[in-house]
Amino acid sequence: MDVELNLTLVTFGGFAELHKYRYLYFVVISTLYILILCFNSTIVFLIWTHKNLHEPMYIFIAALLINSVLYSMIIYPKLLSDVLSEKQTISYPLCLFQGFLYYTSGGSEFLLLAAMAYDRYVSICKPLQYPVIMNRITIYVCLILAWLIPAFETSVLGVLYSNVKLCSFTLTGIFCNNSLYKLQCVPSVAISIYGMVTLINIALLPLLFILFTYIRIIRISYHCCREVRKKAVKTCLPHLLVLINFSCFIFLDIIIVRLDSDLSKTIRLTLTFQSILFHPLLNPIIYGLKMNEIFKHIKILLSNKTNQEAGHAEGSGGNRAGPEVSCDASGGNELSQEAGHDTSDGNKLSQEAGLDGHDAQLETRKAAGRGEAEQDELELMTVWHPQDQTRQDQTLKLDQAKARL
């Protein structure tokens, strides 16, 4: 059982004085991990929610930042648990899986940068054909290939490593990378050759393609107007910075393994931290500061948060001033009550005067009623008097006619 357990466990021996600086390591690594998740997720969220950023260039940036998050998730959780553990161990199959994910994300980074360089080349050198060439199908194909090609090639490498015989079980690093070849009893020629082919396919060829496209962009923009040159610099400079940054970290990863015996543990650990800690953190900073549209949305987001915090502060200040205002209001209510007692006496006097006025109004209404009645009688008399007169005249005429007969 002990032999089988030793054959399946690998120990990380790259930490320098871990027992002394354990909590310092944990605070630094956890802080940087949180910053990486927050910075990358914020820019991805801005690109996702704003329709004016739904362009090929920003879609590739979002994919690159998602790849940085995956890159950090491959290393950081295990690294944090190892810092707090007494033994920094991992099973050999899980170590192969971690190395597979690590180099898959690294190869995807190069291929995504190559896709971004091609997008900039078409945008600047063939602007009229840009909507036709960089359509949705082209974007989806580039994204799928950027993740599938490295995954396929590194999976073959993982299968080759799983069949080798191990004679050592201690890695000189703090995570599983290409230092795994030092665990073999006899170095495998097939693994070495295939590893070189994989490195050329997922790193060197994309790098040469990126250099070719940017040389073409520089040549064409040099013969164009000043505005085209400014556009080329604004859009290409962030990609070049990220490319140089990532290439340096990959170069460090290779150098650390090759010069393992010539470096002290402290220097090796410092270089490893630089490659795994600062690279995922620099990508969102570069794109957030150098890309004008993204930087504009970041400022709007920060200003909205500042306004909300100021609104909450003003609301809490108003609530504190509320009791003082209520006290003043209660004092005003007491004064109004005292004034109300004084006005009540005046109201009583006005009510008594109102009663006398009411009696006078009743008498005038009665007099008016009598006058209206007399007027109605006169109207009736004027209405019926002509009829009565005509009837009398008719009777007189009849009497005179009878007398003549």
3-class SS string, 5-26: HHHHEEEECCCCCHHHHHHHHH
Distance, in Å, from the CA atom of 246 to the CA atom of 238, rounded to the nearest integer, reads 12
**Top-confidence residue, 65 or 256:** 65
Which run of H or of E encompasses 275? none
Highest mean predicted confidence (pLDDT) among 140-144, 169-173, 285-289:
140-144
> pLDDT class for 179, splitting at 50, 70, 90?
confident
pLDDT (average), residues 167-194: 83
**Does 393 or 211 have the greater pLDDT score?**
211
Per residue in 198-211, pLDDT (tens digit) is 989 988 999 999 99
Least confident of 39-43, 61-65, 112-116, 288-292: 288-292
Comparison of pLDDT for 237 and 210, the residue scoring more? 210
116 vs 297, more confident: 116
Q: What percent of the chain has pLDDT over 70?
A: 72
Query: Which carries the bigger pLDDT value, residue 286 or residue 374?
Result: 286
Angle between helices 92-125 and 56-84 (to 10 degrees): 160
pTM for this prediction:
0.71
Separation CA 260–CA 320 (nearest Å): 65
The residue that leads in pLDDT, 87 or 400, is 87
Is the pLDDT higher at 6 or at 395? 395
CA atoms of 58 and 306, how far apart (whole Å): 26
Q: What is the structure's pLDDT at 6?
A: 45
State residue 195's pLDDT score. 86
- The predicted model gives 242-267 an average pLDDT of 75
| Region 212-229 average pLDDT | 81
**Best-predicted range by mean pLDDT among 197-206, 261-270, 312-321, 351-360?**
197-206
**Mean pLDDT value across residues 148-173:** 87
14, 171 contact by CB (below 8 A): yes
CB atoms within 10 A of CB 301: 13
Residue 252 in this model has a pLDDT that exceeds 80: no
